[in-house]
Structure 1
Amino acid sequence: MTAPTTSLPALPGGRTEASLYAATIAMGLSAGLYFAFDVSVMPGLDRTDDAAFASAMGHINDAIENGFFGLVFFGAFLATGVSGVSLRRLGHTRAARWTWAALALYSAAVAVTMKVNIPLNRRLARLTAEASGPELALLRERFRGSWTPANAARTLACTAALACLGRALTLRARA
């Protein structure tokens, strides 16, 4: 006698495609956001003085904590995971594998965000109020020296995840 299974059914085909498109769009938005920091925001802030840099980063970090960003940030994770499971259950194993690769890459980007970028943002905000002159310059240098490579890692991970989702879409369309 076999044990009963309690697995959830796959989403119907149209909903699976919708979740895969949603994942792809959210991933593209995430990759684009991080890329914008790499090529314009941080280089632009490099042209400011230390106090303006710290102030601008504080305002950016305050502004990004909103519902739309949260929807994209967490929606990319959820839609990618749901798509992978649903594709597998519908028998689209190759597309599911690409989707799971995207989920792993995006998970790495989320981990970098949680473990590196957010703590650095909070530290900058906390210490900026107490720092001035040379202390502020050192704080900025240390922040930028860690934050920027971490952001580049997020950009690469999200861009690779986007490519994986593009491949999954192609495979699903051929099925």
Structure 2
Amino acid sequence: MPHALSALALVSNVFCGAIFGFFYAWVCSTMWGLDAADPVVAIQAMQAMNASVRNAIFFPAFFLTPVVLISAALVGWRLGRHRSARGFIGAAGVYLAGAFAVTMTVNVPMNEALAATPVPVDGEEALRIWNAYSGPWQNWNIIRTFASGLALLMSGYALIHLKEGSK
């Protein structure tokens, strides 16, 4: 099996796993912790986290996952590893539609709106703002988490079947 395909397959799994883990952590701890905090603190913390997430460590997992998956699919197809190629291209499609697009069209605009919101000093107003943000944001994040988890499973399936020829 050519080394380029093996390397792309492994990187695909690492990137899928990293982005799945990122979204999953928000589902099972971060947002629950913020929901339990004072709403003023929750708004300030979320604003700070959203401002810090666009960085060189986050970039590869979020932006390059579909690139690596599509590259693995193309190389796999060319080498006659059609089952794997279908797994990688399927993973790319699921990730692009369910995680990347949702992030760019829903979660990021919500984050930008929250960033533009002055943090209220009044606890009731802060609670209203936080409650209007947190529930919908979490619902969309669950979709991103599910999609990136499914992409990870599909990429793992493709990796398992790398040695098989055209099928």
TM (normalized to structure 2)? 0.92
Residue 89 of structure 1 pairs with residue 78 of structure 2: yes
Q: Distance in 2 between matches of 1:129 and 1:88?
A: 52
**Contact 1:101–1:161 (CA under 8 A) maintained in structure 2:** yes
Aligned residue-pair number: 164
Q: CA RMSD in A?
A: 1.5
Q: Distance in 1 between matches of 2:80 and 2:121?
A: 58
* 1:136 aligned residue: 126
Q: Distance in 2 between matches of 1:102 and 1:131?
A: 45
Indicate the structure whose relative CO is greater, using CA pairs within 8 Å and at least 6 residues apart.
Answer: 2
| Largest Rg, 1 or 2 | 1
Report the Cα offset of residue 136 of structure 1.
2.2
**Contact 2:40–2:121 (CA under 8 A) maintained in structure 1:** no
Report the Cα offset of residue 58 of structure 1.
1.0
Q: How far does the alpha carbon of each residue in 1:10-67 deviate from its partner, in whole angstroms, 9 at most, with x for none?
A: xx82111101110110000000011000001011111111110001001111221111
User: Structure 2 matches for 1:1-175, cutoff 5 A?
Assistant: 13-108=2-97, 109-129=99-119, 132-175=122-165
The residue identity in structure 1 corresponding to 2:102 is V
Query: What percentage of aligned pairs have identical amino acids?
Result: 30
Unaligned 5+ segments in structure 1 are 1-11
Structure 1 stretches of 4+ moved >2 Å: 128-136
* 1:5 aligned residue: none
TM (normalized to structure 1)? 0.88
